[in-house]
Amino acid sequence: MTLHIPRISGIDFAAVGKQLGYLEIEHSDNENDASVIPSPIAVISGGDGPTVLLLAGTHGDEYEGQILLQELIRSVRVDDVAGRLVILPALNISAVREGRRVASVDGVNLNRAMPGRPAGGPAQQIASIVSEELIPMADYVMDIHSGGIASEYVPSAFVYLGPTPELWAEKVAAVSAFNVPYSVAVKPMLKAGSISGAADLAGIPMISTELGGRGTVSLPILNRARAGLRSLLGHWGVLKDEPNPSDVTGTDGPIRWVELTAHSAVHSTMAGLFEPVVSLGQTVSAGDVVARVHSVEELDRLPKDFHSPVDGVVAIVRHPAIVNVGTTLVNIAVDHGTTPPEGNHVPS
């Protein structure tokens, strides 16, 4: 028995072993007539067991996941796997090559492009393969993100609430197994066209991450996520002989659950230089000054203070100092402590 997917070159998804290949993304422009953009894929199968789909490089300026999945491809042996790992470490390869959130070839945010279009541009083609071919064959999905160049997050798992009690329970268990300091929860179907939304629509348990950011790699966060990834794959039953999450070294207490809401973002109402007045993970009260913007040209203009809209935790801080009207400066998340929020919500 064989299982081949059109435009995924070199992979028989039914075969046992380690295979390396490409998503062949067709693209024609002024310089190239019907050329192919190759997005790398690895499939490691040890036989019977669950299928886990692992993605990174959905945004090209987010590096921790790319490193983690490259390491996993090189280090995992076929005998280590019960089931099948499908790994795409540089999903939007054009954006990865440029080190940018979206690729200049099409300017499309891949994490807003699901379900995509087979005859569309590069990101639309990738989205179509992920949503129509790869997610449906998976039992579990993980998409590894960080804040990229523009922002920094508390090191966290990132999950959509719901959409059913059963899927929410699976997500909470996966967050516990991954075991990084925070879990950020958001409303169901938060962003149209996201991979998390595509997995929810398919009924497949999925967690994402936000592992720092600032356009660089944090070694402590990378090490924590490195251990957490293998623990999660053990929890999902696809890696043999992985430790229980409670036995992973380097843990520092229970996971703190926070929730981003419609009131979390603090937007600038003037252009200038952003001064963060708070730190990631800091607890704040509604009305506290959390950001300040200084005018560049108007030398006699006083800086403008921006205040927290809610009680909560500083979950995201912008990184570049130059801001404009409408730029998000910080996000304040509601603090649920160590108790996961109720997840059985109706999408809104």
pLDDT for 30: 77
Which parts of the chain sit beneath pLDDT 70? 1, 31-32, 243-252, 344-348
pLDDT at 250: 44
pLDDT of residue 252: 61
**Tell me, what's the pLDDT at 243?**
63
pLDDT at residue 209, rounded to an integer: 98
Give the list of residues 6+ apart from residue 285 with CB closer than 8 angstroms, or none. 308, 311
At residue 191, the pLDDT reads: 87
Q: Which two tokens stand for residue 44?
A: 């490691």
| pLDDT value for 343 | 76
In angstroms, rounded to a whole number, what is the distance separating the alpha carbons of residues 91 and 183? 24
* pLDDT confidence of residue 249: 43
State how far the Cα of 304 lies from the Cα of 266, in Å rounded to an integer: 13
Coil, helix or strand for 339? coil
pLDDT of residue 64: 96
**Sequence-separated contacts (24+) of 166-172 with Cβ below 8 Å:** 167/200, 167/203, 167/205, 168/343, 168/344, 169/343, 170/205, 171/205, 171/206, 171/207, 171/343, 172/340, 172/343
pLDDT given for residue 339 in this prediction: 93
Q: Beta strands of 231-323 (E only): which ranges?
A: 256-259, 265-267, 272-276, 283-284, 289-294, 304-307, 312-318, 322-323
Tell me, what's the pLDDT at 33?
73
pLDDT at residue 148, rounded to an integer: 95
Chain centroid to CA 208: how far? 4
Report pTM: 0.94
pLDDT value at position 32? 67
